[in-house]
Chains A and B, each alone.
Chain A
Amino acid sequence: MANEYDVIIIGAGTGGYVAAIRAAQLGLKTAVVEKQKALGGTCLLWGCIPTKALLEHAHALKIVQHAKDWGVTLPAGAVGIDMGQVQTRKDRIVGGLTKGVEFLFKKNKIDWIKGTARLTGSGGVDVFEGEKQTLRARKEIIVATGSTPRGVPGVEIDRRRIITSDEAIHLRDVPKTLVIMGSGAVGVEFASIFARFGSDVTIIELLPRLVPVEDEAVSAELEKSFRKQGITSHTGARVTAARVSGDVVEIEAQLADGTAKKLRADYLLVATGRAPVIEGLNADGVGLQIEKGYVRVDAQYKTNIPGISAIGDVITLGTAGHPQMAHVSSAEGILAAERIAGQDLRPLNYDHVPGCTYCDPEIGSVGLTEQEAKARGFDVRIGTFPFGVLGRAKMSGETDGFVKIVADKKYDELLGVHMIGARSTELVAEATVALRLESTVEDLIRTIHAHPTMAEAIGEAAHAAHGAAIHL
């Protein structure tokens, strides 16, 4: 029967489409249900890809703004950014990549069923769009419906002036003033983009520091760097009210010291987190176990209903803070697909998930922060090395930031690597492999780091953890 498959995946985001490709590679007949007009989900359409595209534009502008330092001559006149061109280039990149996923589907003979999926029980999915289709999964259904920006009570998102990242990504003008609620990855990335484009940016963060999931030292460095760039950060502060009047948002906030502050902005970007998407899935109808809106799964990504799995942003493993990241979703998708194909599943180690934040300066981190390591009872030793000392950093004019290594004194175990500075999101790959392979700090010291590179800072930080860096 045409509408019977081995595996049916709901959602074509990075979790879903990667799971589909892996399942198809392993010989399973696979379909993906996706209601959007393009494949790729949040990552490709509104998240990773478009924001990073904008950040590259910001970086290009930064170079041009410093043309004089670089000895690049420009015709007279102000340097500016053409948002029309920015959006065009970004859309071209996104379009290319979503077409790439379509190509991969064809190559792997994966069916894209357009429409909204509704679970009907083990193995059953109804798809709505136009005529109702009923699909059967012989082996398993994977729910990969992802997440969507989440608001906060008291701040009504009108998607015009009080917006989320979904709208911010499409702005065709540079706001004069922008207030951002939340300083997670989304908040600080848009802060970097629009501050560079010329907006007056203010961040309001509820917790006492920016990027609260990162190591404290990283937060402090980012705050320092943002201050230098003219981005205002209010940490330990909360938005108490926000109203749109005309083309202006009036915001009231309570600062850390208890004082009230009134702000006016062209836009208020609500970047306070992402909520799981289970609407329309008929989770209640089939009895899917839901915890705080998330689909509860075990370490094999199985839900409580036999034959239904879930992966990605929509799941909770019952532990705090399942990371909502594209690369986590795809790793989970691969594991789920392999399990369904009959392979043994080696559970992911969520302590080894690299985190990348593409603000300026970039943040890359993996493993335990100093605080977490101490809380887990390790006898912690730290090694830090500033990028600014490195030749490569000086050449590129990117001297902010550092690499910080968190290690266990007892066995010299590498526990975490945290970096902020140019190319940190690339450099974190080395640290991730090192953690995955259970390296000691000694191993990092003995690893030859090419010169001149930013990666030298990792070797130097390792040296520092053992006593002294060479070049400091």
Chain B
Amino acid sequence: MPTDVVMPQMGESIAEGTIVRWIKKVGEKVDRDEPLFEISTDKVDAEIPSPAAGVVSEIRVQEGETVPVNSVVAVIGSASAGGPTTATADKPASAGGSTTAPADKPASAGGSTTAPAGEASPKAVEPPKPSPQADGSPASPASTPVATAGPAPVQASQTPPVRVEEKPAPPAAAAPESAAATARQAGMSTEEALHQRSSPLVRKIAKEHNIDISQIHGTGIAGRVTKDDILAFIEGSASAAPRTLAASTGPASVAGAASARQAEPVAASKPAAGDRVEKMSPMRKRIAEHMVASRRTSAHVHSVFEVNFSRVAQIREAKKAEFERSGAKLTFLSFIVKAAVEALRAVPIVNASVDGDTVVYHKDVNVGIAVALDWGLIVPVIKNADERNLVGLSRSIADLANRARQKQLKPEDVQGGTFTITNPGVFGALFGMPIINQPQVAILGVGNIEKRPVVVDDAIAIRPMAYLSIGYDHRVIDGAVADEFMSHVKKTIENWDPNAL
């Protein structure tokens, strides 16, 4: 019996869709749930699986045409009726995840992301949950007739086309899917690679370094990824300190050889007469690239906690002199680092990285401290921060900050970070919404510590307070987990054990 294939509704507000590509042609055999065609809507692009097994007997909407949702775009005939074309299905043009999982709802190409947070499928990588705060996250749309939760807005201009795969309805039969990640990780097909404009050389370099070109911001004509773009990208991730851009500072001039070859950056557009046009410093350029890349890579979500520093302030006053005698400066930051390290131990996912569809839980706790410089920003790393006490941390922080300002950091000083702390409070900010330092999954922002009126035992009291914020990658850290981490930090600071110095 022939089955009609309709243009699926990819979201509540979406009324029409464009056929981008027919993966199967008329006469070709198709399995149920095998990718049949690709569509593009104003929210997302998606690969649509076949609602039934059989042979494509008719294609009614050609590539490039736009039709309203629920229009019939093709007809699947039964396999036997398919005619002589035994259509060798051995041309799996783009059988992305080749999900074999059964689905019961044909046109319900819903993103796996519509699953309620609690109901995560048993996979290493948990699909991102749409969140109102998560801008630019590669959210997939909902489209089951019932659950039509609006996806987060997708920045189509920056985000590569999202491949949405059918989530198998019976949760028991959870098959490998997690569309985008797997498809990309498994090495892009030529077609996909070409979709992101790049050069042969870039594709060659990408292959050798196992890089997903679509993650790279292209500066060439029409966004083409050039050699300089990918080399900068590699440099950035190699130093594991995208935020820091360390590699390009004076001492850590490991980048020297390559950056010497780099072409001039794309100039600011349309400067008016009298404007000063200046080339970005290599550090600036790297910061720019890494920040944008991070935004594109992680599903950023932030939450803010208010923390009472009374206890820490008392201890600090009491111990300051003692510390100074031993040559260390006891700052609030030292306490915060210590508290964060303990929380990282307690909630290891915050001390992790995402590698394709795997999560790497780091054995070491290496905490990067963002240091603002007159000429940019750098994030030196306290290695094995969990093995240091408050004195050791204080010394490390002071040493790294000093050497950062004197341009005396070594490349290894800025590598290997597993978590980052940034301190916008020193400039008076109440709190920050920091961008994650890739490939890490979370970053702690420390707001200004100042005396504020707070309610203590139903009376208004004056207490040194600060807002601590966390930026976390919702791909792997859910809100509850992030809050657990922050609660841990808060608890440690507010109930500091004076003997635990």
A407 to chain B, nearest CB (A): 11
Cβ of A298 within 8 Å of any chain B Cβ, yes or no, is: yes
> Is A47 part of the binding interface, using a Cβ–Cβ cutoff of 8 Å?
no
Interface residue from A300, A346, A349, A437 paired with B199 (Cβ < 8 Å):
A437
Assess whether B267 is interfacial by the CB under 8 Å rule. yes
Query: Is there an interface contact between A347 and B264, defined as CB atoms closer than 8 Å?
Result: yes
A residues near B257, Cβ cutoff 8 Å: 376-377
CA of A438 to CA of B200 in the docked complex: distance in angstroms? 6
CA distance A141 to B269 in the complex (A): 19
List B contacts of A347 (CB < 8 A).
263-264, 266-267
Q: Which of B201, B264, B267 contacts A440 (CB 8 A)?
A: B201
Chain B residues whose CB sits within 8 angstroms of the CB of A302 once the complex forms: 277
Given known A-B contacts A342-B270, A344-B267, A345-B267, A412 and B279 have beta carbons under 8 A apart: no
* Least CB distance, B240 to chain A, in whole angstroms: 22
Interface of A is mostly: loop
CB-based contact B270/A344 at 8 Å: yes
Partner of A438, one of B227, B261, B266: B227
In the assembled complex, which residues on chain B have CB atoms less than 8 Å from the CB atom of A388? none
Residue in A299, A437, A438 whose beta carbon sits within 8 Å of that of B267 in the complex: A299
**Residues in chain A near residue B208, CB distance under 8 A:** 411
**Does A443 lie at the interface of the complex (its beta carbon under 8 Å from any beta carbon of B)?**
yes
Which residues of B sit under 8 angstroms from A306, Cβ to Cβ? 273-274
B263 and A349 contact, CB distance less than 8 A: yes
**Given the contacts A344-B266, A347-B267, A437-B199, A412 and B204 also touching, CB distance less than 8 Å:** yes
Contacts of B200 in A (CB 8 A): 437-440, 442-443
Whole-angstrom distance between the alpha carbons of A344 and B277 in the complex? 13
A345 vs B269: C-alpha distance when bound (angstroms): 7
Judge whether A299 and B264 touch: CB under 8 Å: yes
A438 near B279 (CB under 8 angstroms)?
Answer: no
Among residues 291 to 306 in chain A, which have CB atoms less than 8 Å away from a CB atom of chain B? Answer: 298-300, 302, 306
Bound Cα distance A306, B267 (Å):
17
Contacts A346-B221, A376-B261; A438 near B269 (Cβ below 8 A): no
Q: Given contacts A302-B277, A438-B226, are A413 and B201 in contact (CB under 8 A)?
A: yes
Across the interface, which residues of A come within 8 angstroms of B264, CB to CB?
299, 347
Asked if B260 is an interface residue, CB under 8 A from chain A, the answer is yes
**Contact yes or no, A344 B201, CB < 8 A:** no
Say how far A343's CB is from chain B's closest CB, in angstroms.
8
Residue of A nearest to B231 (CB): A411
Q: Does B205 contact A (CB under 8 A)?
A: yes
State A455–B60 Cα separation when bound (angstroms): 47
User: Taking the complex as formed, is B433 at the interface, i.e. its CB lies under 8 A from any CB of chain A?
Assistant: no
Interface flags, A410-451, vs B, CB<8A=1, else 0: 011110000000000000000000000111101100000000
| Contacting residues, chain A, for B226 (C-beta < 8 A) | 438
In the assembled complex, how far is the CB of residue A406 from the closest CB belonging to chain B, in whole angstroms? 14
Interfacial residues of chain B within 77-116, with CB under 8 A of chain A in the complex: none
Contact A438 B201 (CB under 8 A): yes
Is B385 interfacial (CB-CB < 8 Å)?
Answer: no
Q: Min CB distance, B5 to chain A, in Å?
A: 38
Contact between B199 and A307, CB atoms less than 8 A apart: no
Beta-carbon contacts of B266-294 to A below 8 Å, as 1s and 0s? Answer: 11011101100101000000000000000
Question: In whole angstroms, how far apart are the Cα atoms of A345 and B274 in the complex?
Answer: 17
Chain B residues near A344: list those with CB within 8 A: 266-267, 269-270
Which residues does chain A contribute within 8 Å of B204, judged by CB atoms? Answer: 411-413, 440, 442
User: Which residue on A lies nearest to B270, using beta carbons?
Assistant: A342
Mark interface residues in A111-154 (1 if CB within 8 Å of B CB, else 0): 00000000000100000000000000000000000000000000
Closest beta carbon of chain A to B316's beta carbon, Å: 50
CB nearest neighbor in B for A377: B257
Give chain B residues whose Cβ lies under 8 Å from the Cβ of A346: 220-221, 266-267
Q: How far is the CA of A32 from the CA of B282 in the complex (A)?
A: 39
Q: In the docked arrangement, what's the CA distance between A306 and B271, Å?
A: 11
Q: How far is the CA of A370 from the CA of B274 in the complex (A)?
A: 42
Interface size on B, residues (CB 8 A): 25
Shortest CB distance B161–A (Å): 24
Which residues of the partner chain B approach A376 to less than 8 Å between Cβ atoms?
257, 260-261
Q: Which residues of B contact A299 (CB under 8 A)?
A: 264, 267, 279
A411 and B201 form a contact (CB under 8 A): yes
B202 at the interface (CB under 8 A from A): yes
Q: Nearest Cβ in chain A — how far from B193, in angstroms? A: 14
**Interface mask (A435-472 → B, CB under 8 Å = 1, otherwise 0):** 00111101100000000000000000000000000000
With both beta carbons as reference points, the residue of chain B lying nearest to A307 in the complex is identified as B273
**Which residues of the partner chain B approach A414 to less than 8 Å between Cβ atoms?**
201
Complex: chain A residue closest to B205, CB-CB? A411
CA distance A184 to B248 in the complex (A): 39
Q: Which of B201, B260, B274 has the most CB of A within 10 A?
A: B201
CA distance A377 to B255 in the complex (A): 13
Contact of B270 with A439 in the complex, beta carbons under 8 Å: no
Contacts of B267 in A (CB 8 A): 299-300, 344-347
Contact B202 A438 (CB under 8 A): yes
Q: In whole angstroms, what is the CA distance A440 to B208 when docked?
A: 14
How distant is A339 from chain B, measured CB to nearest CB, in Å?
Answer: 8
Which residues of B from 176 to 231 have beta carbons under 8 Å from A? 199-202, 204-205, 208, 220-221, 226-227
Roughly how many angstroms separate A258 CA and B199 CA in the complex, as a whole number? Answer: 51
In Å, the complex CA distance between A324 and B261 comes to 22
Contact A439 B199 (CB under 8 A): yes
Closest to B258 in A: A377
- Cα(A240)–Cα(B400), bound, Å: 61
* Neighbouring B residues of A413 by C-beta, 8 Å: 201, 204, 227
Closest CB of chain A to B288's CB: distance in Å?
16
Q: State in angstroms the CA–CA spacing of A320 and B227 once bound together.
A: 24
Binary A-proximity of B248-261 (CB < 8 A = 1, otherwise 0)? 00000000010011
* A433 CB, min distance to chain B CBs, angstroms: 12
Q: Which of A344, A346, A411, A443 has the most CB of B within 10 A?
A: A411
Q: In the assembled complex, which residues on chain A have CB atoms less than 8 Å from the CB atom of B277?
A: 298, 300, 302
Counting chain A CB atoms within 10 Å of each CB, the highest count among B200, B267, B271, B274 belongs to B200
Hey, what's the 0/1 contact readout for A369-382 against B, CB within 8 Å counting as 1?
A: 00000001100000
Query: A346 CA to B257 CA in the complex, in Å?
Result: 23
Scoring B residues 159 to 186 as 1 if CB is less than 8 Å from chain A, else 0, what string do you get? 0000000000000000000000000000
Q: How far is the CB of A373 from chain B (nearest CB, A)?
A: 11
- A349–B199 CA distance with the chains assembled, in angstroms: 16
Report the nearest A residue to B268, measured CB to CB: A344
B202: chain A residues at CB < 8 Å are 438
Q: A376–B201 Cα gap in the complex (Å)? A: 18
Mask: chain A, 286-324; 1 = CB below 8 Å from B; 0 = not: 000000000000111010001100000000000000000
Q: How far is the CB of B44 from chain A (nearest CB, A)?
A: 29
In Å, the complex CA distance between A239 and B306 comes to 82
Tell me, rounded to whole Å, the shortest Cβ–Cβ distance linking B224 to chain A.
Answer: 9
**B270 contact set on A, CB distance < 8 A:** 342-344
CA distance A413 to B226 in the complex (A): 12
Which of chain A's residues have a CB closer than 8 A to the CB of B261?
Answer: 376
Q: With the chains together, A249 CA to B2 CA distance in Å? A: 96
Chain A residues, Cβ within 8 Å of B271: 300
Q: Which residues of B contact A377 (CB under 8 A)?
A: 257
Report yes or no: B199 in contact with A438, Cβ–Cβ below 8 A.
yes
Q: In whole Å, how far is A185's beta carbon from the nearest beta carbon of chain B?
A: 26
Chain A nearest CB from B280 CB (Å) reads 12
Bound complex: CA A344 to CA B223 (Å): 13
Query: A307 vs B227: C-alpha distance in the bound complex, in angstroms?
Result: 34
Which B residues have a C-beta under 8 Å from some C-beta of A? 199-202, 204-205, 208, 220-221, 226-227, 257, 260-261, 263-264, 266-267, 269-271, 273-274, 277, 279
11 more CB-based (< 8 A) A-B contacts, given A307-B273, A347-B263: A342-B270, A347-B266, A349-B263, A376-B257, A376-B260, A377-B257, A411-B204, A411-B205, A439-B200, A440-B200, A440-B204
18 A/B residue pairs, CB under 8 Å, sorted by A: A122-B273, A300-B271, A300-B277, A306-B274, A342-B270, A344-B267, A344-B269, A344-B270, A345-B267, A346-B221, A413-B204, A437-B200, A438-B202, A438-B226, A438-B227, A439-B200, A440-B200, A440-B201
For the complex of A and B, list the 3 residue pairs with the smallest distance between their C-beta atoms, beginning with the closest. A438-B199, A347-B264, A438-B201
